[in-house]
Each structure stands twice: as C-alpha cells, then as structure tokens.
C-alpha cells in the first residue's frame, strides 16, 4: 500500500496569562478546520497546538500568588486546554507545553546547532525594559510621567534601565538569504498583503537579536551557561520542531512531518514566524516550513475587544448561546480569511438562521421527510436523469475541487461561499421540480428528484464536516451513510464512506433512513 501524503499544521502557542477569548477560538477553530479537511482528504495529519509557559511575567505572577511558576502555568494552561477539549472540539494531536521535558532538549539542540554555525555570540544589552511587555524600548518610545517614573508610550507600562549580558543571534547575516528565499517561495507567507509588510521590513535591514536573559531563571537554560535562560523566540518557535520528535531527526514522526506544511498565526507575530524562524532554521541546518498563514483579529461591532471596554467575548458564552457548529461556521464564513473581522449578535444569528437553518437544514428536512413518507423510508431508486438533475449534480461535484483549492490557500470563506451558492441552486431545483406535485402525477420522477436532492446533501455534508463536524455527522446519519469516520477528528477519517474518497460513491437505493429530525434549529432571541 502506498504511503499516504502527510500534513503538519500548527497554531501559535498561547501565553496562558489571561482567559481565552473568541480571538483565541478563531485561531484554534480555523486550524482545526484545516486539519480536519486534510484528514478527510486522505492526508495523514498532525495538528499541534499548546502553550508558551516561560518568562519573567509568569515567574513574577507566580511569586505574587505564592505559587511556583510551574504550579501557575499548570493552572492557567488547564483553562486553555479545557476550552480546546470541552468547548471547541479541537482535534489537536498533541497539546505541547514549552515546559515539557522533550521541549527543553529540542530547544537546547537547536541552540547548539546555531552556535556551531557561528551565529550566536555573547554581548551586552542595555535599554529601557518593560517587564510586563517583556520588551525593550528606545528612549524615544518612553516618557517620564508626573510620578517621576518612566513609561512606555505605546503600552503605558513602566520601564526600567537594564544592562544585561545577553546572547545574540546574527539575524543581520540572514537578510539576503531570507530575501532570496521569499523570492523563490512567493507563497511562503499569506495573505500577500501581510507577507509584503514582512518583506519590506527585511529589505530595510535586520539587527541582531537578543535571545537570552540572565535576570530571571524561568526558562530553558542556555547550553553551557546556566546563568542564562533562552528568551522567548528560540524557546517558543522551537515548539514546532519538538512536536514532531526533534531533536531526533531520525524519528518516524520527524521524517514524516517535518518540514511543517502550515503555521497558522495571528498578525501580531508575523515577523517572528516569517523572519526569525526561517533564519533560525537556516542557521541550524533544518528545512524551512512551507507556509505561514496570517489571520486577522476579531472586533466586537467594529470595536477592538478590550477588558476595559468590557466587550470581550468568551468562547464558552458564544457556544452556549449559538451552539458550537454555528460559531465555527460563522467565524469561517463571515470573514475573508486573513482580514480583520467584525462580529455582532445579528450577524451571527443571520448566518445561523439563513445559511444553516434555512438553506441547508430546511432543504434536508423537506427532502428527507418526503423520502420517509413517500419512499417507504428508504433511499429511492432514481430513474433516467434529466438535464436539470445533471446540472445540479455537476455543480455539486465541482465543490470538491473548489474546496481543495480554497483550503490550500486557507480561503475558507471562498469554499463556503461557493458551497452555499450551490445549496441555493439546489433549493431552486427542488422548488422547480416540485416533488410534492410529482407525487400525484409521476411517482417515479418524484423518486428521482428526491434521490438527486439527497445526493446533493450528502456531498455537501461530506465537504462541510471540517467546519461543522457535529451537524454534518448528523446529516450523514440522517442520509443513512454508513456510520464510521469521525468528521476529521483523527486520521481514521483518511478513508471510509465519510471521507472525501467516498465523494463519488453515490447513495445506495434501498438504504433505510429514519424519520428526519431538524438538525439546525433556528435561533430565536
């Protein structure tokens, strides 16, 4: 048996200091959808997500709470993991924590490789440092306020003058190699507008990067100098390697899955993923990931979400209000992926009712009801297909390739838009053929129309499993499609009657179906 193609996708790892909000959910869900799509399409898939647990802030917060840093991150990480597991249904294969023992090995190994490449040197760093932001600021980026203390202008956090011995990475050396790489791999970053910003930044020149700290010790120790711990970037980005077995580059997982096919991240960290990370990997002699997709941020009715405004939405609150599948669908259908999006209650309800309940749910309900009542409760035998039948079936058939192409570049909205266009055509077909009339005049023709409609629904249900796994599974159940598969949750979805491999295997006439129950309830306020 030939080896299956593989697919390795990651999310950014989250700094678990607050509570998860709908923006976190957006990233997890979109990565989950991508992973499920690839599994259903026959790819042996590995999906990595997790938390970034080191740093001075954690150490200080822990002290303030009378905990060890590990105790604090255990507590905070549990909250994020619970959202993945119990609220959003995220199908990750590993939830990595930068405090995992194997991650220490991986981070120290890539560090050693960069040292061997001559790209790490010891120097001194000085500047205005904000503990809360974990960032240095130029003097011009700070101001002295009335209380006599100095603050970051941008973030309003207090800064202190710090002089510190630090290891540096020779990022400057990689300006040209990176530009060459971008030119040869124009799809490395997406969407294009974000990638262009990155390229322009690199063209302006790169400074070497401070990559260690000695003022605190909650981090991965620098090999050969236990006075230092790695600063965020080497430690955090390396999780993508750790997740598939690094530093054991001979391991089965590493051989299969590295280089990663997709890093899915937010626009705030595009530079780290499109510049630092490839440079580190070039230095360490490791293959570069194939693509970084940069998603936008979500706004509440056009306003930035913020605690002080009090408009932050918790994923659990939305899921309770609208249901998980409606939330997943809304997030992927409503916004062009990569752009910022603005949500309102009315917009979510609109998608839920119009797209899910009316266009899809009602089409399924009306056609399956007729089958249950008029075809002895089994999938009917179709007769000769008319042009109208063939036209709607052909439009439905085209959705597989259209979806593949759209998913390949993470244009989820495009796949869904086209799918719902075809559903609109299917509703028109159904009304046009009027099987409830045919029931009185031509039962054979009625059975054909009902069969064709059921086939359309089957194909659509297959393709939207990644987005609305629960509802799509119910839809396939209702059509009597053999149970099996898990809507992309695991690699068991690679094949079987609910995988994309079965897209062209039509419903078997005579298959019994149950009396249908509505799958997509309307949202009533």
Nearer to RNA, 364 or 481 (CB): 364
At closest approach, how far in Å is the CB of 436 from RNA?
3
Q: Considering beta carbons, is residue 57 or 366 the nearer one to RNA?
A: 366
Phi, psi dihedral angles at 10 (to 5 degrees): -130, 155
Residue number, 47 or 128, with CB nearest to RNA: 128
The phi and psi torsions of 216 (rounded to 5 degrees) equal: -150, 170
Which residue, 245 or 278, has its beta carbon nearer to RNA? 278
Smaller CB separation from RNA, 72 or 275: 275
Q: How far apart are the first and last CA of the chain?
A: 53
Shortest Å distance, C-beta 136 to RNA:
13
What distance in Å separates the CA atoms of residue 225 and residue 493, rounded to the nearest whole number?
47
**DSSP at 85:** I
Q: Would you say 177 or 521 has its CB closer to RNA?
A: 521
Supply the DSSP string of 94-105, one letter for each residue: EEEETTSHHHHH
Give the chain's largest Cα–Cα span: 90
User: CA 300, CA 334: separation in Å to the nearest integer?
Assistant: 14
Nearest-approach distance from CB 464 to RNA, in angstroms: 14
Which DSSP string corresponds to 426-465?
HHHHHHHH-HHHHHHH-HHHHHHHHHHHHHHHHHHHHHHT
Nearer to RNA, 316 or 350 (CB): 350
Contact 500, 461 (CB under 8 A): no
Please state the closest distance from residue 141 (CB atom) to RNA, in A.
6
Least distance from C-beta 434 to RNA, angstroms? 6
Phi, psi of 152 (to 5 degrees): -70, 130
Q: What's the closest the beta carbon of residue 93 comes to RNA, in angstroms?
A: 32
Tell the smallest beta-carbon distance from residue 100 to RNA (Å). 31
Binding site for RNA (CB under 7 A): 138, 140-143, 153, 193, 196-197, 200-201, 204, 271, 336, 342, 350, 354, 357-359, 361-367, 369-370, 424, 427-428, 430-432, 434, 436-437, 518-522
Helix (H) or strand (E) holding 135: strand 135-137
Q: For the CA atoms of 452, 454, 455, 457, what is the dihedral angle to 10 degrees?
A: 130
């Amino acid at each position: 048996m030939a080896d299956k193609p593989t697919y390795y996708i990651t999310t950014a790892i989250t700094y678990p200091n607050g509570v998860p909000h709908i923006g976190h959910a957006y990233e997890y869900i979109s990565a989950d959808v991508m992973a499920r799509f690839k599994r259903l399409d026959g790819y042996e898939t590995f999906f990595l997500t997790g938390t970034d647990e080191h740093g001075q802030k954690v150490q200080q917060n822990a002290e303030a709470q009378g905990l060890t840093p590990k105790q604090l991150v255990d507590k905070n990480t549990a909250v994020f993991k619970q959202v993945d597991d119990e609220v959003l249904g995220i199908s990750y294969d590993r939830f990595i924590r930068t405090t995992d023992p194997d991650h220490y090995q991986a981070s120290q190994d890539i560090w050693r490789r960069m040292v061997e490449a001559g790209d790490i040197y010891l120097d001194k760093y000085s500047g205005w440092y904000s503990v809360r932001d974990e960032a240095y600021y130029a003097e011009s980026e700070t101001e002295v306020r009335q209380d006599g203390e100095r603050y970051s202008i941008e973030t309003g956090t207090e800064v202190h003058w710090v002089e510190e011995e630090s290891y540096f990475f020779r990022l400057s050396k990689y300006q040209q190699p990176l530009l060459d790489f971008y030119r040869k791999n124009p799809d490395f970053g997406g969407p294009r507008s974000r990638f262009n910003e990155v390229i322009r930044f690199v063209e302006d020149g790169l400074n070497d990067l401070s990559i260690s700290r000695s003022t605190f010790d909650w981090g991965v120790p620098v090999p050969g100098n236990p006075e230092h711990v790695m600063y965020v970037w080497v430690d955090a980005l390396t999780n993508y390697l750790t997740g598939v077995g690094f530093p054991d580059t001979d391991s089965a997982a590493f051989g299969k899955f590295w280089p990663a096919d997709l890093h899915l991240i937010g626009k705030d960290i595009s530079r780290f993923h499109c510049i630092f990370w490839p440079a580190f990997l070039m230095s360490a002699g490791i293959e570069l990931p194939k693509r970084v997709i940069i998603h936008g941020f979500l706004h509440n009715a056009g306003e930035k979400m913020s605690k002080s405004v009090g408009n932050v939405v918790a994923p659990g609150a939305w899921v309770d209000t609208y249901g998980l599948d409606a939330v997943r669908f809304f997030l992927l259908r409503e916004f062009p992926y990569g752009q910022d999006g603005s949500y309102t209650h009315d917009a979510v309800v609109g998608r839920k009712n119009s797209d899910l309940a009316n266009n899809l749910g009602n089409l399924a309900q009306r056609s399956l009801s007729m089958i249950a009542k008029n075809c002895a409760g089994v999938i009917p035998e179709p007769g000769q297909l008319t042009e109208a039948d063939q036209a709607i079936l052909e439009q439905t058939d085209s959705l597989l390739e259209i979806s593949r192409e759209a998913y390949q570049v993470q244009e989820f909205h495009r796949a869904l838009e086209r799918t719902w266009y075809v559903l609109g055509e299917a509703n028109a077909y159904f009304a046009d053929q009027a099987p409830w009339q045919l029931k009185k005049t031509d039962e054979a023709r009625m059975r054909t129309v009902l069969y064709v409609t059921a086939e359309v629904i089957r194909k659509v249900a297959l393709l939207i499993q990644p987005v609305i796994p629960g509802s799509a599974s119910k839809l396939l159940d209702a059509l009597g499609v053999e149970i099996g598969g898990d809507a992309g949750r695991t690699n068991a979805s690679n094949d079987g009657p609910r995988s994309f491999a079965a897209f062209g295997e039509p419903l078997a006439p005579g298959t019994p179906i149950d009396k249908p129950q509505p799958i997509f309830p309307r949202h009533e306020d």
